[in-house]
Structure 1
Amino acid sequence: MKIITVLVLDGVFDSSLSITLDTLHAAQSILAARSGAPAVQVRTIAAKAHVTTGAGMRMKADLQFKTAGQGVSDWIIVPGLGHRSDQALSDGFARSDTRQAMAWLAAAGTGKTRIAASCSAVFLLAQAGLLDGRKATTAWWLAPAFRARYPAVTLDEARMLVRDGPCLTAGAALSQLDLMLAIVSEVFGESVAHWCSRYLLIDQRASQARYMMRDHLEHEDPAVIAAERWIDARLAQPMTVTALSSALALSPKTLARRIEAATGVSPIKFIQRRRLSRAAHLLETTSLSIEAVAAQVGYQDSTALRKLIKREFGVTPSTLR
């Protein structure tokens, strides 16, 4: 019998929790229909008997931290916490139930249990020390705040899922779908995961890069904000890092350090991502040809833009229309 434990905190993002439980229930039903009996136990754990979700719903937890002990779980899943800003995360970490959850997770991380989280819940794993020296992803708009808090974690917010050792992390809230399919595939088998995706109409996505809105990233470095504005005003023109640093009255080295601290990428990659973000917006909202879009974002060759979109977003330009 395999055991999956879902950790639930007050204020949990309702859809993230529902996706977790509904996907597991669907997988159990499919497995039961094929083998006669489910071989997986799903249980919830919280700091107290009842939890109130972000939308005000109340649910009864199966277990509580103080009485359950560590027990044995094959997987621990932490749905999104519902925190939408760095300040909200700081406030959440100060709560008693969150501190209990981190202590319980830290103890679980010393064994063979695998631990998964998406969106702001990835911060909980990092705060508990489970991601030090590992790779991870999280909600794209919280990436700068994550980097500032956890420099020991290698963050790639463009990816939808990142697996490193016993930890599996996912991007923004509804990437919980992708997270759950990956877990179902491992626990229940690829065939069950396939049928879950068919019944629930879940499409697996390799990247969250195409969904990013750069203006909504949670960073406050004025130099990086100024760089964004300078680049966006000149997307159709040739530009260099030297010209950008000169416009901001910074040395190329200082500019590179500040951009990388805020975004995790080099200035060249930063410029490229601004171009691609604008290209994706134009493809999604206009009927411009790919050649016209390429010209507007500084690529003379539409083939190069096609290749970059495929590499960075995991889709073709026509998919964005």
Structure 2
Amino acid sequence: MKTILILALDGVMDSSLAITLDTLRAGQSFLSRARKPGQVRILVAGYRKSVRTGGGLQLKPDMSFAQLSATDRWPDWIIVPGLGLVSDGAIAARLAQKDAAAAMALLRQAPASTRIGASCSSVFLLAQSGLLAGRDVTMTWWLAHLFRDRYPGIRLDETKMLVRDGRYLTAGSAYAQLDLALAVVVDTMGTAAAHLCSRYLLIDQRPSQARYMMQDHVQHVDPTVIAAERWIDAHLAEPISITALAAALAVSPKTLARRVGAATGISPVKLIQRRRLLHAAHLIESTSLSIEAVAARVGYQDGTALRKLVRREFGTTPAALRG
């Protein structure tokens, strides 16, 4: 029998916890229908006898952190749902609390055979535990700048919906917990059960967070990079060279590359492409402009190039973006 354990900390996002339980239990149900009951066990562990969710609901866990720590039978998966943190101060304060410290100790204690998944702000918990050093991860895009500042040794790509590196699986913003849970279903219950979960729960294919990023959401506080984004946005329809961009900001191309990399984790060339694609996605979703017209407005030679980039970066087609 395989065991999936959910670490529920006080303040856990109700939706993130519910999504995990609903998806995993749906998979269990499909196994039972296939006359394969009892193959997967789902448990919830809490620091105390009762967990209070972010929405104020009371949850009675199946076991305590202490009981898990004392066992010699570790689960196949440990999943940490999102915590709903919104600022650097809130993150630091939350990671200093007793249940967070106990959770990090458990994660460090888990054997190499146990796989660990986290989404949204709970990826901070894994990072703080020291388990993600030198690894590739994703997390919620609008907290990416805080994560990058705190953990420069971790390779973050906030455009991805899911990133797997070794035994660690990280997911993006809150509802990417659904994608994480489905990946765990594949691993523990098989692709047939996961396919049924997708059909019955109407889970769409969302391999990228990039299409959901708000163009005007400030993800960092570097004034040079903010100015670069604004200049790029004002010249999207024109050819943009790194030399011209750096000159407009009164910095050298080398300084521009260093500051963009530190603030966003990508190169200036990639930043320009990202701004073009975000604006293109916005136009596709909010206007009736043809793909050729959208391509012209954001600086691509034709609709074919834009279609290829949308599929590569967003994992979908312009038609699907338009719905």
TM-score range normalised by the length of the shorter chain:
over 0.9
**SS across alignment from 1:116:** strand
Q: Is 1:91–2:93 an aligned residue pair?
A: yes
CA distance in 2, matches of 1:285, 1:151: 36
Does 215-224 or 116-125 show the bigger shift? 215-224
Take 2:145 and 2:275, find their aligned partners in 1: how far apart are those partners? 16
Q: Percentage identity across aligned positions? A: 62
Residue 84 of structure 1, CA deviation: 2.2
- 2:53 is matched with which residue? 53
Q: Which amino acid counterpart does residue 256 of structure 1 have in structure 2?
A: A
Q: What's the secondary structure of 1:111's corresponding residue?
A: coil
Q: Is the 8 A contact 1:70 1:104 kept in 2?
A: no
Q: CA RMSD in A?
A: 1.3
Determine the C-alpha separation between the residues in 2 that align with 1:104 and 1:314.
35
Letter in 1 for 2:14: D
Q: Size of the alignment, in residue pairs?
A: 320
Residue 289 of structure 2 aligns with an amino acid whose one-letter code is L
Equivalence for 1:172: 173
SS at match of 2:34: helix
**What are the within-5 Å matches in structure 2 for residues 241-252 of structure 1?**
241-252=242-253
Contact 1:85 1:218 in 2 (8 A): no
Offset of 1:68 from its aligned partner?
A: 3.0
**Post-superposition offset of 1:36:** 5.0
Whether contact under 8 Å (1:20, 1:180) holds in the other structure is yes
For structure 1, list consecutive stretches of 5 or more residues without a partner in the other structure: none
Letter in 1 for 2:161: M
| TM-score, scaled to structure 1 | 0.96
Which position in structure 1 is the counterpart of 2:132? 131
Please give the TM-score of this superposition, normalised by the length of structure 2.
0.96
CA distance in 2, matches of 1:24, 1:191: 13
Q: 1:105 aligns with which of 107, 110, 119?
A: 107
* Residue 184 to residue 175, structure 1, CA distance change in 2 (3 Å): same
Cα distance in 1 for partners of 2:252, 2:133 equals 31
Shift of 1:70: 5.0
Specify the code of the residue in structure 2 equivalent to 1:282: L
Q: Which residue of 2 aligns with 1:238?
A: 239
Residue 263 of structure 1 corresponds to 264
CA distance in 1, matches of 2:68, 2:313: 44
Structure 1 counterpart of 2:20: 20
SS in 2 for 1:304: helix
1:115 is paired with a residue of what secondary structure? strand
Mapping for residues 122-271 of structure 1, pairs under 5 Å: 122-271=123-272
Alpha-carbon contact 2:10-2:51 (below 8 Å) kept: yes
Equivalent-residue separation in structure 2 for 1:204 and 1:95 (angstroms): 36
- Per-residue CA deviations over 1:86-145 (Å, capped at 9, x if unaligned) read 32211211211111111111111x431000011111111111111112111101111121
Query: Which digits, 9 at most, give the CA deviation of each residue in 1:154-186, with x for residues without a partner?
Result: 111111111111101111110111111111011
Structure 2 SS opposite 1:54: coil
How far residue 9 of structure 1 moved from its aligned partner, in angstroms, is: 0.7
Which is further off, 47-56 or 32-41?
A: 32-41
Gap change, CA 1:60 and 1:246, over 3 Å in 2 = same
1:99 aligned partner, one-letter code: A
**Match for residue 84 of structure 2?**
82
Give ranges in structure 2 of 5+ residues lacking alignment.
none
Structure 2: which amino acid aligns with 1:52?
A: R
Determine if contact 1:70/1:107 at 8 Å carries over to the other structure.
no
Cα distance, 1:66 vs structure 2:
2.4
Aligned residue identity for 2:312: R
1:50, distance to aligned residue in structure 2 (A): 0.7
4+ runs deviating over 4 angstroms: none
Q: Distance in 2 between matches of 1:106 and 1:217?
A: 33
**Contact in 2 for aligned 1:13/1:81 (Cα 8 Å):** yes
Q: Is contact 2:215-2:279 (8 Å) kept?
A: no
Q: Given that residues 9 and 100 in structure 2 are in contact (C-alpha distance below 8 angstroms), is that contact kept between their aligned partners in structure 1? A: yes
